[in-house]
Amino acid sequence: MRLLQKTVRRYIVYSVFILAVAIPVFYLVIKQVIREDADEHLQAIKAAVKPRIEKAMSDHTIGRLYFADQDIVLSAYHKTPLFETLTDEDLYDTVSRETVPYRVLSANFIIDGSPYLLQIRNSMLDSEDLIETIVKVQIVLLLLLLSGLLVINRNLSKSIWRPFYSTLDKLRNYKVEQHRSLELTMSSVNEFDDLNRSLEELAGRAHQAYRMQKEFTENAAHEMQTPLSILKSKVELLMQTSSISEEQAELIGEMADASQRMGKLNQSLILLTRIENLQFTETESISLKEVIEKAVVLFQPQWEESQLRVRCDYKEDIFREANRPLLEILVNNLFGNAIRHNIKGGRIGIVLSGNRLVIQNTGRPSELDTGQIFRRFHKESNHVNSIGLGLAVVKQIGNLYGWGVSYAYREGGGFNRNDVDGVRKDGECREGLHTFSVLFS
């Protein structure tokens, strides 16, 4: 949720709460005030009428007693205890043909030893109409006030926060590898100006650190390649020397293997650094099927030497915008990993479907450490050609393009149980099916 929406939502919730509470309270207060005023009016009428009734009773002229503008009823009453009540009653009006609310004062008193009941009615119809009108006006005014506050707050907030959103857009488009500085516009808000200055300084330091790291990577790659090449050539010359013993030849062979591993390690570390530094900026639309077919041909000597059977299932081709060398490295590392950690006479399955690449291989009958297999220098086997960086490179390339890289294991390998290499004579399976998947976004 945006910050502006979050603040406006709080204003709305608070205002709606105030409206929901204020309108009923206002209605009840107005109604109580009008009711108290009606009660006072009824008491005044009672005080004025009672002496007239007593005089008419003493003069025996009660039949001629007339209340022109008052709704008063005087009747004989059989109960003697004195009382006085004020109640609300709804009475049917024959003139308007509707039920009309009344405020009724009922009181009894004794005249010449006889109890009488006096009822004075006051119509509340005009008062109810007045209350409804007042409440409606209040609702309209409060809604106009709320709408005005929201509009003013929204426009004011947009104008105040415009420099912030401008800074945010420039930060989204800023690339540290590009040779340009982050130029942010100043505003009339001091806090935003301080933020912009801090961001400009931070971007400058980040670009400087990136440039220095890039130079170090390039220099390290160049400087390390030279001694490694010299070491490799010298070892090859030593191997061609005729006057060496068998023990010396064995030592020289180990040196050759070590120099080769060092060269691979150097190339992989440089590759990881270049990926992290976002130095692979050139992209193009690439066919995954074409890259896989190229990898199968490239590694053919290796998988044929291990008597592996490779099956490719291209349900549909996938095209992705990426750097071609990086995508080839990703596929080659996964395919090479499936060959290197397979069993003799095992199988490799490659499936390309939807937006997913799946490479499966038979291997050891135990699951790999899912929390460590994509970490640098983590090795699940002691294979001589494994340097522990292949899957780390795959994961890093996936992170670069937002692709999901995952691993799964199934016991038994999922292959034909008649394969002697996959099943022991007692029927116990000694292989597992290891699956690496790349989910393209």
Instruction: Examine the pLDDT at 424 and tell me if it is beyond 60.
Output: no
Least confident of 38-47, 247-256, 307-316, 354-363: 247-256
427-430, Cβ contacts within 8 angstroms, sequence gap of 24 or more: 429/365, 430/365
State residue 358's pLDDT score. Answer: 92
pLDDT in tens, 324-368: 888 888 998 899 889 888 888 889 999 988 888 999 999 888 877
CATH architecture of 283-439: 2-Layer Sandwich (3.30)
Determine the pLDDT at residue 349. 92
Write out the residue limits of the CATH 1.10.287 domain(s) in the chain: 190-275
- Residue 411 pairs in a beta bridge with 432
Q: Rounded to an integer, what distance in angstroms lies between the CA atom of residue 3 and that of residue 387?
A: 48
Q: What is the pTM of this model?
A: 0.46
Lowest mean pLDDT among 141-150, 260-269, 313-322: 260-269
Are 2 and 111 in contact by the 8 Å Cβ rule? The answer is no
**Intervals of CATH 3.30.565.10 along the chain:** 283-439
Amino acid 425: pLDDT:
36
How far is CA 376 from each of CA 92, 265, 273, rounded to the nearest angstrom?
A: 92, 11, 12
Task: Report d(CA 313, CA 358) in Å as an integer.
Answer: 10
CATH topology for the 3-144 domain: Beta-Lactamase (3.30.450)
Q: Which amino acid is at 111?
A: I
Cα torsion angle, 171, 172, 176, 182, sign? negative
User: Of 192, 134, 201, 137, which is closest to residue 167 (Cα–Cα)?
Assistant: 192
CATH 3.30.450 in the chain: give the residue spans: 3-144
Hey, what CATH topology would domain 190-275 get? Helix Hairpins (1.10.287)
